[in-house]
Each structure stands twice: as C-alpha cells, then as structure tokens.
Structure 1
C-alpha cells in the first residue's frame, strides 16, 4: 500500500483533481448509457483530466466495465468510488486499481484492504477517525464532506498531524472554489455531482490551464 499511496500523491501533486462519475440508474440495462459514459471519459481526457473515479455498482457487469475503461484510457488514473462494504472491496481486488475511496472510515474494511494491498482511502469527518486512519498507516486522507466541514477542519487536522499527510477534499465542491480550497489547506480535491454531466465548465477550463 505504501507504493500505491506514494504514486497517487505524486500524481495528484501534478494535477490535484479527481473527477467522480457515478453510474445512472438502469445503467447496465441500456447500452446507450455505456456509450455515453465512454464518451464522457474521452471528453474529460481531452480536457486534460488525469484522475477519474467510477462509482461502484453491485451489478456483476461493473467489473467488465472498469476493465474496459482501464484498457481504453491508459493515460487516465482510474479508481473506484464508494467502496464501503466487503462486497465492494472484494469486487475491486482483481482489478488491481491504483486507488479507491470510501465515504467514511470503517476499520475492518480498511484492514482488509491493507491486507490485500488495495489502497482504499478513508473518508474522514472527525478527529477520532483521523487518528485511527493515521495509526493504520494512511498518508493520504479524504475529508468528507467539505461543504460542511470547510477549511477550519482541515486546518485543525494539520495542527494535529505528526507527519506529512496528504488531504483530499470531497463533497459538494464546485469548480469555482478549487483555487481557494487548494490555497486553504487541501492538497487535492474531488469534483462529483457539482460538475454537471461531467462536462467541464468555464471555471474548470480556466483552472485546468495551469495543469
């Protein structure tokens, strides 16, 4: 896990952004939705996006979908979002993803992930879980949700840390706030539902020109 953490940190230092795409309802029942997803990823890649997470789905076809995406978009660092159960974790292990994220801290699942060398970044919303995650060896932490926890929380965690910790902010972030949040203590940020249809808006276009 150490190597995967360092690799992701280095990648996010180059471009401190992850775009999350969550699958639409009935995604696997309508072939057109699969085509649209691949077009969205291609479009994001053309804009220069380097890190994309795909929301986990319990449908058995999800694994094949991620394999296809990894094969077709080798220049993008593909991860899995919303890994919050043993079932979800078991699903991603054969994919050998560089990273995945959980919305919250679940010690048992994180221990399982560490056992199998799967980087599963914990979502942290309180100091107790932050300390537990650090004790497990995490050097990269997701703060979630940023829309509620804001800048004060990341600053509080920075005062507590005894070693370098890389903070990813997620939850309710808008592209117009990327610059401010990065200047205020976050090391990288996640854009999800606030990025409508996963199409870069003017604020994101401007921001991407620096990366």
Structure 2
C-alpha cells in the first residue's frame, strides 16, 4: 500500500446513500462518480462502510466493474465491519479512530487497517501497535504545519495520510508540508461535476 501511495499519493472516499443502495447499482450516483474517478486516473478509492443489507453487493459490484482499482473501505469502527471487509477481499480499510482491540483483530486477520489519529500520543500508540500507516483526522482542524511541528520532537513518523476537510487545491501544499498522501471526500464532486483541479493534478 505504501509503495502504491508513493506513486500516487491520493485517496478518494465515496459515501453511499440510500438511493445508491436501493437502486440498480449501474445507474447510481456513486457508480457515476466511481466511473469518473477511474477515467481520470485515480488509483485508490474507499467506499464508506454502512450497516445495510446491500452494502456488500454494492462493493462487490464496484470491484467487478473496476477490477484494477485499489479499493478500500472507510469508516470502520467496529469488529463486525472489520470482519466483513476482510472477508470481502478489500485491499485495505480506514478508521476515523484509534482502537487497540480493532487494530489487534486486524493484525490477527492479516488485514491492513489504517487508524485515525489526532495527537502525538495517538500516533505513538499506533506505532506501538505495529501500524506503519496512520490517518491524521481531521487534518483541516490541525492545519498543514502540524506535521513539521511534531516531526522533530517525535523522530521517525509513520506514513501519514492527511484526511478530513481537504480539497483538491490543497494537494500540493499539504504534500509539500511533509504529508505522505492526502485523502479527499465529498469536495471532489461539486454538484456531481468532477473537480477540474484534481484532474489537472493527476495529469501533472
């Protein structure tokens, strides 16, 4: 995962709504957005986990539609969700929080779960649990200088993904500030139109 993100340090998170889950998947808003991301060259996409009977069918359809995409799951906060995404064969999953038992279970499953962290103590705890990647969340609250402020006193930092409240226009600035990758969410699509600045960044 780290090797892949070094090539393209970007993840995009898609959140299904009830219309996405209750309709023919091929014509849903989420699949339209997924198609646009793949066409633009985005390599890493997360689909947020939702406790819904058709969520598994949705993600399996997404994998079948775009088999070469590095597809992950977002918003994993409980053991049942972790078990489900691991069984579905996801490449990875992300959590908005750091939970020791959840990380230990992911380790037992041999599955990559990236925890959400917000403080130096949580970053150190994640490292102690064996995490090589962490997600700084919510990054927009902490600001892009946070990385440089903690880098010197903490020494070696894990691979750090900045997530939460960021836009495509932030990519260059946050990567230049030291972050290893950036995760974007709903701001990628404005009124269902793909952000042209993201397409320009990918092309560059």
Task: State the TM-score, normalizing by the size of structure 1.
Answer: 0.89
CA distance in 2 between partners of 1:90 and 1:157 (Å): 34
Instruction: Mark the runs of 5 or more structure 2 residues left unpaired by the alignment.
Output: none
Instruction: Name the residue aligned to 1:202.
Output: 196
Assess if the C-alpha contact under 8 Å between 1:125 and 1:145 holds in 2: yes
Instruction: Name the residue aligned to 2:9.
Output: 16
- The Cα of 1:91 is off from its aligned counterpart by 1.5
User: How many equivalent residue pairs?
Assistant: 203
Q: Please, which moves more after superposition, 109-118 or 146-155? A: 146-155
Q: Which residue among 109, 113, 134 is the counterpart of 2:127?
A: 134
Q: Which residue among 157, 173, 180 is the counterpart of 1:187?
A: 180
Structure 2 vs 1, CA of residues 116 and 34 (structure 1 numbering), >3 Å: closer, same or farther? farther
Assess if the C-alpha contact under 8 Å between 1:101 and 1:122 holds in 2: yes
Q: Secondary structure at the match of 1:83?
A: coil
- The Cα of 1:163 is off from its aligned counterpart by 3.7
Instruction: Mark the runs of 5 or more structure 1 residues left unpaired by the alignment.
Output: 1-7
CA distance in 1 between partners of 2:188 and 2:173 (Å): 17
CA distance in 1 between partners of 2:173 and 2:185 (Å): 18
Q: Secondary structure at the match of 1:100?
A: strand
Structure 2 vs 1, CA of residues 32 and 101 (structure 1 numbering), >3 Å: closer, same or farther? closer
What is the CA RMSD across the aligned residues, in angstroms? 1.8
What is the correspondence of 1:1-211 to structure 2 with a 5 Å cutoff?
A: 8-31=1-24, 35-163=28-156, 165-196=158-189, 199-210=193-204
Task: State the TM-score, normalizing by the size of structure 2.
Answer: 0.92
Assess if the C-alpha contact under 8 Å between 2:19 and 2:28 holds in 1: no
